[in-house]
Amino acid sequence: MKKKLLFLGPPGAGKGTQAKLFCEKYGLDHLSTGDLLRDEVSSGSVLGVKASEVMNKGELVSDELVLSIVERRLEKIKQGWLLDGFPRNVNQANALKKLLVKINQPMEAVVLIKIADDYLTKRLLARGREDDTEGVIINRLKVYREKTAPLIDLYTNQGILEEIDGNADIDVVFSCIEKALGT
C-alpha cells in the first residue's frame, strides 16, 4: 500500500475530513499544516499571533514558518504520512522535494479532491470557522487558483496524481480515494 501521500484541493474540498478518516483506517501520520497552525494560534505564541492575522485574511502563512513546522514533524515519522494542505505553492513544493530526497522518502501519490466553488462556499459558511466568512472564502479561493493550482500540473507531470470528485457524501468520496490508491 502507498504510505507517502498528499491530499490536494481547494479550501473546503474535504482534504482534512478525508485525511483524518484515511489515517485512522490505515495507521498513517496525518500532517495538516492548517491544524498545526491553528494549534500555534491557540498557544498564543508570537508566531501564532502573526499566523492568525494572515489566516483570518485568507492569505498563506509564510513559507519559512510552514516549512520549519513540517520539517520537524516529517523527520520523526517512520510508518508513513499523509500531507494535508501542504505544499500550497510552488516554493513549498520545491522545498518539500528537497526534504524528501534528504530523508529518502519519495512521495508515492497525490490525491486531488475536485469540487465546484459554489459547493465549497456553502460548506465553509456552514462550518463557520473564524476564516469561514464570505469575503475571506472568496480570497482563499483566489489564492488557491493563483498559488496552489499550479501544483496540479507539477504532480500530473510526475505521473502520481489521482483525481477524485469531492461533490458526494463523505463515505462515497472516501471509497473513491481508496479505489484510486488501490488499498
Query: Near ligand B4P by CB under 6 A, which window of 29-37, 72-80, 95-103, 175-183?
Result: 29-37
CA angle 100, 28, 116 (to 5 degrees): 85
27, 82 contact by CB (below 8 A): no
Binders of ligand B4P among residues 81 to 140 (CB under 6 A) are 85-86, 88, 92, 123, 127, 131, 140
Binders of ligand B4P among residues 143 to 172 (CB under 6 A) are 169-170
Q: Can you tell me the distance from the alpha carbon of 3 to that of 105, in angstroms, rounded to the nearest whole number?
A: 10
How is the beta sheet containing 161-165 ordered, strand by strand? Answer: 29-32, 81-84, 4-8, 109-114, 161-165
In a 3-state reduction of DSSP, which class is residue 130? Answer: coil
Residue type, 119: Y
DSSP 62: P
Smallest distance, Å, CB 164 to ligand B4P? 10
Q: Does 66 bind ligand B4P (CB under 6 A)?
A: yes
Cell numbers describing residue 40: 500555534
- Closest to ligand B4P by CB, 35 or 108: 35
- Closest to ligand B4P by CB, 91 or 159: 91
* Residue ranges binding ligand B4P (CB under 6 A): 9, 11-17, 33-34, 37, 54-55, 58, 60-61, 66, 85-86, 88, 92, 123, 127, 131, 140, 169-170, 173
